[in-house]
Amino acid sequence: MITTIAKMNPNAMLDTVERISSLADEMHWEVKTQCLEFAAAILSKFKDNAHLIAAKDDLKAGKTNSPLAH
């Protein structure tokens, strides 16, 4: 379900990435598979906008030289 949402509206899923990432450490292969599919969906939608994701991380870390800080 999350992968479908990520394909249709990836911007809405950016805040979910960290939570999904923590699920990747689960022992069950089914959960790992869902995390991998989610990651592939997000990466395919944002491959041309990787600089925006890095800028979002900079803003979260409090860096003021980020392109999105201005």
25 or 58: whose pLDDT is higher? 25
- Residue 28, pLDDT above cutoff 60: yes
Work out the pLDDT band at 49, boundaries 50, 70, 90: low
Q: Which of 42, 39, 4 is nearest to 23 (CA)?
A: 39
Chain-wide mean pLDDT for the chain?
77
Please report, for the chain, the start and end positions of each structural domain, with discontinuous segments joined by +.
2-69
More confident position, 9 or 32? 32
42: buried, middle or exposed (CB in 10 Å: 19+, 13-18, 0-12)?
buried
Looking at per-residue pLDDT, the higher value among 22 and 12 belongs to: 22
Half-sphere exposure of residue 17: CA atoms within 13 angstroms, side-chain side = 16
